[in-house]
Structure 1
């Protein structure tokens, strides 16, 4: 029987992690979940305290300390996973009801990797349009906020996440999956936070993201992308 290991990279997510854990348990079947793995990159807020006090009698919740960096944290989570399916999920992204069954059904159809379509918790017109675009199968419409499911076997075959990237690690992995024609978009809504857009400004941040994609398309390496992101976004 296929079981899912949910892997959540975390850094100072006290505002979201408790709600996310409750959401995951309330919207899945315990028999489908191997464990929830939280890979913490050095949180200094109340995140760790929230996790330590969280109670679940149905699903194991395992916390692991990691070096900072989403790619490193997700790879560490995968190392400890026992499920035949890995489900990588940002701490502020909430998948649809019965997400576990939806994922397993795709695996049974030999769709060994994919994501959900996504909407932001915002009424901004551009963000609503951006959410609608995620229903399309185009690689350009993909991103880590949509979450990522992948069989453990396929994840290991492609070498996991490239830890040279401190940003763009999701897109790098997704590109490898598209090259293998191993990607499907499940047409159910995942809801994610627009907090980064609220902090930086929607159009300004979108411009920076477009520049990052353009730089990568023109051959920029991970180091150049990281420097650009730290200069303009961090």
Structure 2
């Protein structure tokens, strides 16, 4: 059994779709769905409260903080971190358990976007490759609770790039696999900012991190461009 942990902030559009999707495609191996809200001002809280399968937690805003909060309250020995706008494949819970039973303690799914564009299609194909440069949080993350605690969970100093940071530590421990099934994620940032502006932003964040930028510098660079 696994615990699904979903960090949310103003996700009234996507959270109902995700919960419905989980009900439809899971194979009965879910111990709980933990939704961790970071101060939503829309109907996200009401949606979570009215979903009988959801355990709602309130947290300080910040995905790393929210996901750590969820992990601390999780009852299962397998954690599955999932963004509200990402839809995992059919039998995702069974597929994760299969990998755990094979000795793979952490990993993700391949990822496609919900928008058709040749560049996004190309980017999606790279997620087949089990290399750190092809990873990102929208692909979701499963990990044993023991390994999660061993590496110290998410680094809460990161307000962006927190998924990549923890995945880097997992690759350093040779503990990462890619399940060859497609997860579908929203291209909402690409739609809002444009394909090339968004891709440029991600490349800038990646290289800034490679050259030693701090977590705060990454945050300031990201939000300056997203909110401009």
TM-score by shorter chain over 0.5: yes
Distance in structure 2 (CA, Å) of the matches to 1:84 and 1:53: 26
Structure 1 residue 229, shift from structure 2 partner: 0.8
Give CA deviations for 1:82-116 in whole Å, capped at 9, x if unaligned. 00100000000000000000000000011000000
Distance in structure 2 (CA, Å) of the matches to 1:207 and 1:102: 34
| Consecutive aligned runs of 4 or more in structure 1 exceeding 3 Å deviation | none
Give CA deviations for 1:119-170 in whole Å, capped at 9, x if unaligned. 0001111111111110111110000000000000000000000000000000
Aligned to 2:166: 173
- Counterpart of 1:229 (choices 192, 202, 222) is 222
Task: Answer yes or no: is 1:104 the counterpart of 2:97.
Answer: yes
Aligned to 2:35: 38
Aligned to 2:116: 123
In structure 1, list runs of 5 or more residues that go unmatched.
Answer: none
Aligned to 2:150: 157
Task: Answer yes or no: is 1:49 the counterpart of 2:46.
Answer: yes
Aligned to 1:145: 138
Aligned to 2:11: 13
Distance in structure 2 (CA, Å) of the matches to 1:191 and 1:151: 23
Aligned to 2:86: 93
> Secondary structure of 1:110's partner?
coil
- Counterpart of 2:181 (choices 188, 213, 233) is 188
Give CA deviations for 1:17-38 in whole Å, capped at 9, x if unaligned. 11111111221133x1110000
How many residues are matched?
227
Give CA deviations for 1:39-84 in whole Å, capped at 9, x if unaligned. 00011111112222224xxxx4100001000000000000100001
